[in-house]
Amino acid sequence: MPFFSAKVPKEYSGTDRLDTYIASLPNGMNRSKLKSGVTNIFVNGKSQKLSYKIKANDQIDIDWEDNIPDDIEPQDIPLSIVYEDDNVCVVNKEQGMVTHPASGNWDKTLVNALLYHWGRQSIQQIKEGSTSEILLRRRPGIVHRLDKDTSGIIITAKNRDAEEWLQTQFRNHRSLVKEYIAICHGRPQHQHGCIKTQIIRDPHNRKHFKAVVDAPQNADGKTSGKYAETAYWCVACYGDYSLMRIRIATGRTHQIRVHMKYLNCPVLGDSMYAKQDKEFPNATLMLHAHLLKIRLPHQDSYTTFKTPTPERFLAIMKVLHKEYKKTILPTDR
């Protein structure tokens, strides 16, 4: 994915919008390209809009994408449906499937599969207008996402009313329960804990994220990055490996993977945040969303959805049971 970076000079004293300022730079992008192709805008590590008023010393980082297709097409791709009614469709997403079309993955996504499953027509893409309108066309029914290599439960909306109902809950993750299982390399110091940090772009690799407690401040004196909170329970340890249950109170990009690395227990098979494991060199990401507890549209009570443990987990656990003695960490007092 192409990206653009610029540092606003300390002498700057104007009041330009971000898109106007970028368009004025010798190596900048015009406003039309910014509107149609932008995917992420970060100023001092914090997500911003094109209307942001820039200030001296601002660090601007922009991701954009080229060759946007004219349509998002329905595709006949098998799906594991957990539950479906007139308002929602709950899917057990396979590892390797991208949630929605984006740069480098314009087809064979969950959205393409759902359009076919629902009997919908192709969705024409717009390349002019507000960023929110452009992105909305690429993500019909998507109210939350899972990383490509994270498998498990994802709930989608089949109409606008259901989409708004679900989005309201996902804006506050404490109003629902999302639980994951993970096999990690390393042992946590405590049987149970809650990780509370800011998550920022890794200054050494802008495609990665990093958990920090004392995040740097931007020009306004506000903390950069986004607050993230993850609770974990170590179910058992096998040698230097740990089986974890994880719940998130926020929904940040790569949150669990970043927080497990912060805990010195990176998720096994994580190609971004962990080194290749010597005992399991071919392991893929051992992270699975196995439970979702949420209120379905216009219901007061909660509905719980679960998925079975994936085969890749069972294969790893079989080896761990054979090679190591199961250890239960003492409960913290």
The residues carrying an active-site annotation are 147
How many angstroms separate the CA atoms of 163 and 123, rounded?
A: 17
**CA distances from residue 106 to 1, 42, 65, 98, 323 in whole angstroms, order as listed:** 13, 23, 11, 9, 42
Nearest to 272 by CA among 282, 263, 280, 284: 284
Rounded to 5°, the CA angle 107-111-115 comes to 105
Torsion angles phi and psi, residue 153, rounded to 5:
-70, 130
